[in-house]
Amino acid sequence: MKMSFSTKAFAMLLSAGLVAGCSSTGENMEEGAYGSDVAAIDQDGGSTVYGGADGSGVSASELTDDERRAAQEQAEQEALRDITTFYFDFDTSEIKPDARDVLVAHARYLADNPRQQVRLEGHADERGTKEYNLALGERRANAVQRFLIVNGASRGQIETVSYGEEKPAVRGSTESAWAQNRRVELVFQ
Amino acid sequence: MFMKSRSRCSGSFLKTPVIACLVLFLTASLSARAELLIRITEGAGSAIPIAVVPFAESGSMPAGDKVGSIVQADLTMSGEFRPLEPSKMLSLPSERSEVYFRDWRMLGQRYVLVGQLTRNGDRIQARYELFDVNQEKRILGETAAVPASNLRSLGHHISDRVYEAITGAPGVFSTKLAYITVSGEGEQTRYRLQVSDVDGKRSKVRLESREPILSPAWSPDGKKLAYVSFETGKPVIFVHELATGERQKVADFPGLNSAPAWSADGRSLLMTLSRDGNAEIYRMDLASRNLTRLTDHWAIDTEAAWDHADRGIYFTSDRSGGPQLYHMERPGAEPRRITFGSRYNARPRPSPTGDYVYYVHQRDSAFHIARTNLETGEETVITRTGSDESPSVAPNGRLLIYATRQNGEGVLTVVSADGGAAYSLPASEGEVREPAWGPVTR
């Protein structure tokens, strides 16, 4: 995905604002409350930051401090987005606190790239019944979908599918295999 | 060794709701590559002693298992009978005048089955008689005929008649099983929907796909299977006519399309759809495709089955915080929770007589099949294995098949409804799962 520097800067500064927003809201907040908080930051933070980054230093040979910081944050965001699998506890569809920064980075990426599509594949471990697990996998995918939308992605970019327990990432009947199989995978298309 | 597919895959075909043939190979019949083997693991102590005397034969008989040994294997498999080994028999009578009751009493037998087979052109006719040894009385005497290529059907038919004459309950040896086998890994993974006799013999692949196939469910006349297939990349419900191989895509809504279950009249399917936001239970009239929504809750509602009276439904819901069973007395009524014994109870399957409901039950960290007596509410865990899934009750209510794991491989296990006797059906290759016991068809 190619982007102009100014768009990148916009994206990274925006995400920097969002990440700051997240850490200040704390980890044990409800998903909904957390989401609306972030959405508010998105609304009033976006255009201001953009104005600052636009126009000036794109052709200059020396990066300003702001630009250096922005580039660093950009790299951090990209590193975050390397993570595309999110794990869940048994029989739950709650997004774990440590997944939130990464999902916010994905949401921002989707917001900045409106033509980017993503498929959310929900999975369950082998325990329990197949049909219930199919519904559980869907609920996990839906939870991630809601989180991405609240954080800036649009509904039209996201498709969800549940495989239930049919496509384990790891074979075997151990706690460790089960933990790796209870997941949602983001597949960018 | 593929035989010719009998489903049609022409271009115009795809324009109709009747769908087939995208990423999968439909097969009306396929090799016995994934044949199930039978392994009797346990017999009940109370099994009834019966002598199944090898049948006398006149005329040439096809190679393969003898009718007598098929009947003997069937009765053993039920767990309710303990057939005498033919080598221990003092005589091999084939009609009443040759039966010496004293000899059979001495051998501790309660019943004796004798018979004769006659070749008649392309057909084979059996005459058979069943005697009560203590009463010295004939309790069954019949004839039956089949094409010569169909001796197994004749054996299963005789087993059904003997079983019913002695126990009073219909036999299920002529019924079929549907199940899913999985073989290969990664790109090579193949899912196959198969149908076989209840002893795992004569299996045929009905559908083969690279993507998962789930939840096979028999129509009440035994002519169709409904199931969920991921062949289009998401769960979609199909109805598959077994005789022709013709398939219809009946539910392909956004989100889940899963857990099909037939009504007793075969005209509608219960199913789980998430088209309105989350997993809810609907009833689809198959002729009109009209949907009636039966549940309305933010929780997962799925795995519906009609109750024995065909008036209300059992289903799984996690509205209490974890999956539990509920009964809705009639569509629209307030669901009543019926399981409380542990934090995970799912996939209800009521017995045909309505006295029990069977389901998957978590106890400690293991999953078993349990049943609840619907009159008393008493719950009993009936399986001793630990990763048990997909219970399916035989049409006579006396046997139950479920999927479990043995030595790391998926197998199907049949147990008596109280959990006593058992036999298992491991796949000769790969895994076998999701058994569905077919109806009695006459």
Q: What's the pLDDT score for residue B20?
A: 36
Residue B42 confidence (pLDDT) above 90: no
B3 pLDDT band, cuts 50/70/90, is very low
B317/chain A closest Cα distance in angstroms: 9
Mean pLDDT, range B376-385, rounded to an integer: 91
Quick check: A148 and A158 in contact, CB under 8 A? yes
Q: What's the pLDDT score for residue B430?
A: 81
Q: Which of A60-74, B22-36, B132-146 has the highest mean pLDDT?
A: B132-146
B44 pLDDT band, cuts 50/70/90, is low
Name residue B340's amino acid. F
Residue A81 confidence (pLDDT) above 70: yes
Owning domain of residue A126: 5-188
Q: What's the pLDDT score for residue B45?
A: 64
CA-CA distances (angstroms) from residue B413 to A145, B188, B435?
40, 27, 9
Q: Which residues contact B208 (CB under 8 A, 6 or more apart)?
A: B24, B25, B26, B27, B30, B190, B191, B192, B193
Residue B390 confidence (pLDDT) above 50: yes
A120/chain B closest Cα distance in angstroms: 12
Predicted model pTM: 0.82
Quick check: A141 and A148 in contact, CB under 8 A? no
- Could A162 and B256 be called an inter-chain contact, meaning their C-beta atoms sit closer than 8 Å? yes
- Could A162 and B318 be called an inter-chain contact, meaning their C-beta atoms sit closer than 8 Å? no
- Could A126 and B387 be called an inter-chain contact, meaning their C-beta atoms sit closer than 8 Å? yes
| B contacts of A132 (beta carbons < 8 Å) | 300, 302-303, 316, 318, 323, 346-347
Residue A87 confidence (pLDDT) above 60: yes
A60 pLDDT band, cuts 50/70/90, is low
Residue A102 confidence (pLDDT) above 80: yes
- Could B318 and A91 be called an inter-chain contact, meaning their C-beta atoms sit closer than 8 Å? yes
The pLDDT tens digits of the residues spanning B225-268 come to: 999 999 999 999 999 999 999 999 999 999 999 999 999 999 99
Name residue B135's amino acid. Q
Quick check: B47 and B60 in contact, CB under 8 A? no
The pLDDT tens digits of the residues spanning B128-165 come to: 999 999 999 999 999 999 999 999 999 999 999 999 99
| Residue B245 to residue B219: CA distance in whole angstroms | 15
Q: What percent of chain A has pLDDT over 90?
A: 54
Residue B274 confidence (pLDDT) above 90: yes
CA-CA distances (angstroms) from residue B142 to B65, B139, B169?
21, 10, 18
Nearest to B107 by CA among B89, B87, B132: B89
- Could A131 and B259 be called an inter-chain contact, meaning their C-beta atoms sit closer than 8 Å? yes
Antiparallel, parallel or unpaired: β B81-83 and B56-58: unpaired
Mean pLDDT, range B348-377, rounded to an integer: 94
**Into how many domains does chain A fold?**
1
Q: What's the pLDDT score for residue A46?
A: 30
The pLDDT tens digits of the residues spanning A141-181 come to: 999 999 999 999 999 999 999 999 999 999 888 999 999 99
Q: Which residues contact A103 (CB under 8 A, 6 or more apart)?
A: A86, A95, A144, A147, A148, A151
Of residues B6 and A81, more confidence is placed in: A81
The pLDDT tens digits of the residues spanning B170-204 come to: 999 999 999 999 999 888 999 999 999 999 999 99
Residue B62 confidence (pLDDT) above 60: yes
- Mean pLDDT, chain A, as a whole number? 76
Q: What's the pLDDT score for residue B185?
A: 85
A/B interface, count of CB pairs below 8 Å: 85
Of residues B103 and A46, more confidence is placed in: B103
| B contacts of A173 (beta carbons < 8 Å) | 387, 405, 408
B32/chain A closest Cα distance in angstroms: 24
Residue A1 confidence (pLDDT) above 70: no
Quick check: B346 and A132 in contact, CB under 8 A? yes
| Residue B438 to residue B233: CA distance in whole angstroms | 28
- Mean pLDDT, chain B, as a whole number? 89
Max distance between CA atoms of chain B, in angstroms, equals: 72
Nearest to A22 by CA among A105, A128, A142, A139: A105
Strand arrangement of the beta sheet that strand B204-209 belongs to: B25-26, B204-209, B190-197, B176-183, B431-437
Our CA angle for A93, A97, A101, nearest 5°, is 110
Q: What's the pLDDT score for residue B301?
A: 97
For each of the domains in chain B, give its residue range(s) and CATH number, in order of start.
45-167 (3.40.50.10070), 176-437 (2.120.10.30)
- Could A162 and B235 be called an inter-chain contact, meaning their C-beta atoms sit closer than 8 Å? yes
Q: Quick count: other Cβ atoms within 10 Å of Cβ B344?
A: 23
B377/chain A closest Cα distance in angstroms: 22
Q: Which of A90, A123, A130 to mutate to test the interface with B (most CBs of B within 10 A)?
A: A130
Chain B residues touching chain A at CB-CB below 8 Å? 212, 214-215, 228, 230, 233-235, 255-256, 258-259, 272, 274, 278-279, 300, 302-303, 316, 318, 322-323, 344, 346-347, 360, 362, 367, 387, 389-390, 405, 408, 434
B422 pLDDT band, cuts 50/70/90, is confident
Q: Where residue A163 sits, what CATH number does that domain have? A: 3.30.1330.60
Chain A residues touching chain B at CB-CB below 8 Å? 91, 126-132, 134-136, 138-139, 142, 160-164, 166-167, 173
Quick check: B273 and B253 in contact, CB under 8 A? yes
**Count of CA atoms in the C-beta half-sphere (13 A) of B49:** 14
Among B186-190, B272-276, B302-306, B435-439, name the one with the lowest average pLDDT: B186-190
Q: What's the pLDDT score for residue B38?
A: 63
B288 pLDDT band, cuts 50/70/90, is very high
B35 pLDDT band, cuts 50/70/90, is low
A4 pLDDT band, cuts 50/70/90, is very low
Containing B68, the helix (H) or strand (E) segment is: helix B67-77
A97/chain B closest Cα distance in angstroms: 21
| Residue A49 to residue A123: CA distance in whole angstroms | 38
B434/chain A closest Cα distance in angstroms: 9
| Residue B96 to residue A149: CA distance in whole angstroms | 80
Quick check: B282 and B273 in contact, CB under 8 A? yes
